[in-house]
């Protein structure tokens, strides 16, 4: 009871601001949604990762009608299996899926709705990595602040609350202990067994795609990789493909550097030009060559920008790093709106988003530059 009163009080403190509940379809987000509605918060968002169970999608409609609130469903610009074809499967070692399918769509939603706080159902006892989380926190890849009112609750606290108020739970709890994406690399052996028994068509789709993937990688023990779920712990060997050549020129200003980039084709140049204004305004092109003059301390950032542009697969993950909303996708490549870009360089921060680009960091086949 004390935890409930405290959580409700904390939610009331942000209810007057533009606050939305980030609803996952699980028991924890159900509790925070109920608390949030009691506190006066009337909007919620669900991120469809494109690998959700049909039961969860139907459950969203039930919850929307149950609470009669403004419920929005958001998605990434590409579906899960299409992205897998481009960069391979995520795994416990190569976990790129959250950046693409959760954080970026949430950031777009928060920017469009001018959301200040996202209420989440995060709890510390779910994972050791959450031990340092606070009630008021932040995610560097989500523009809105994060509010975790049940961060100190236990799983039993959650179930007690659901029972107390007779809340409608996701029907998937009849089979699974944890609700989420149906082909998550963190699924347990029991999860896979249940999936095989009750959702054979999904397991068939997964194994078929994994078989093709294992052939591309030249996996020798295919049975262990596919049927033994070896892919969940896999890290693909990296094939680096030459993307062009950088060579310096001489300039009079010692604080600047003049570089010539020789690309493999004009398409690469056009991709680079779409985001080059993030760093420089002094440049010109001739066919497959780009000449750019910029401050010396930005040389490394230029390399990141060029590789980011050439490797782009249109997943949209990096757009979440721009607080101004200057980054956008067009024809499956990243672009920048010069009129609102502040040149903060967050989109080129390799710590904020590993490699500053999902494909640049996780793809088994990556385009890299040569520096002369």
Same domain, 199 and 225: yes
Alpha carbon distance 186, 178 (integer Å):
11
pLDDT score of 92: 93
Is 144 domain-assigned?
yes
Q: Are residues 265 and 326 in the same domain?
A: yes
- 9 and 142 in a single domain? The answer is yes
Same domain, residue pair 333 and 363 = yes
Which residues of the chain fall short of a pLDDT of 50? none
Same domain for 112 and 255, yes or no, is: no
CATH of the domain at 49: 3.40.50.620
Q: What confidence tens digit (pLDDT) does each residue in 82-115 have?
A: 999 999 999 999 889 999 999 999 999 999 999 9
Inside any domain, residue 154:
yes
- Kindly state whether residues 137 and 257 are assigned to the same domain: no
State the total domains in the chain: 3
Do 204 and 249 fall within a single domain?
Answer: no
pTM: 0.90
CA distances from 365 to 85, 240, 298 (A): 12, 6, 26
Residues 264, 333 within the same domain: yes
Domain annotation covers residue 183: no
Is residue 179 in some structural domain?
A: no
| pLDDT tens-place string over residues 3-35 | 999 999 999 999 989 999 999 999 999 999 999
My answer on whether 58 and 103 are in the same domain is yes
Q: Are residues 249 and 217 in the same domain?
A: no
Q: In terms of domains, do 217 and 282 share one?
A: no
Quote the domain boundaries for residue 29. Answer: 2-81+90-174
- Residue 356: its pLDDT value, please? 95
Q: pLDDT by residue (tens digit) across 159-202?
A: 999 999 999 999 999 999 999 999 999 999 999 999 999 999 99
For residue 145, being part of any structural domain is answered with yes
- Residue 77 pLDDT: 96
- Confirm whether 38 is domain-assigned: yes
**Same domain as 94, residue 11:** yes
Quote the pLDDT of residue 12: 94
């Amino acid at each position: 009871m004390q935890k409930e009163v405290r959580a409700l009080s904390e939610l009331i403190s942000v209810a007057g601001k533009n606050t939305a509940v980030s609803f996952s379809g699980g028991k924890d987000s159900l509790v925070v949604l109920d608390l949030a509605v009691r506190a006066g918060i009337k909007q919620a968002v669900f991120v469809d990762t494109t690998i959700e169970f049909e039961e969860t999608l139907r459950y969203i409609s039930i919850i929307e009608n149950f609470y009669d609130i403004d419920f929005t469903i958001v998605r990434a610009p590409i579906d899960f299996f299409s992205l897998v074809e481009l960069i391979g499967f995520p795994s416990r070692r190569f976990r790129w899926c959250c950046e693409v399918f959760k954080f970026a769509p949430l950031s777009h939603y928060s920017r469009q709705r001018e959301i200040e706080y996202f209420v989440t159902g995060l709890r510390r006892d779910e994972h050791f990595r959450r031990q340092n989380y606070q009630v008021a926190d932040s995610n560097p890849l989500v523009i809105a602040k994060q509010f975790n009112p049940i961060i100190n609750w236990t799983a039993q606290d959650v179930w007690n609350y659901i029972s107390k108020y007779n809340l409608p739970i996701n029907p998937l709890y009849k089979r699974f202990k944890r609700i989420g994406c149906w082909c998550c690399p963190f699924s347990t052996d029991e999860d896979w067994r249940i999936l095989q028994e009750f959702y054979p068509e999904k397991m068939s789709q997964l194994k078929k795609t994994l078989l093709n993937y294992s052939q591309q990688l030249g996996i020798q023990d295919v049975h262990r990789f596919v049927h033994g779920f070896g892919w969940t712990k896999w890290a693909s060997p990296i094939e680096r493909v030459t993307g062009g050549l950088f060579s310096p020129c001489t300039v009079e200003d010692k604080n600047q550097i003049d570089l010539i980039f020789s690309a493999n084709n004009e398409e690469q140049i056009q991709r680079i030009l779409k985001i080059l204004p993030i760093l420089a305004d002094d440049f010109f092109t001739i066919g497959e060559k780009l000449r750019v003059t910029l401050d010396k301390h930005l040389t490394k950032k230029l390399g990141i920008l060029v590789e980011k542009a050439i490797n782009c697969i249109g997943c949209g993950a990096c757009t979440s790093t721009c607080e101004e909303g200057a980054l956008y996708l067009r024809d499956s490549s990243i672009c920048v709106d010069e009129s609102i870009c502040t040149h903060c360089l967050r989109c080129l921060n390799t710590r904020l988003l590993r490699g500053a680009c999902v494909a640049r960091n996780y793809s088994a086949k990556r385009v890299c530059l040569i520096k002369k």
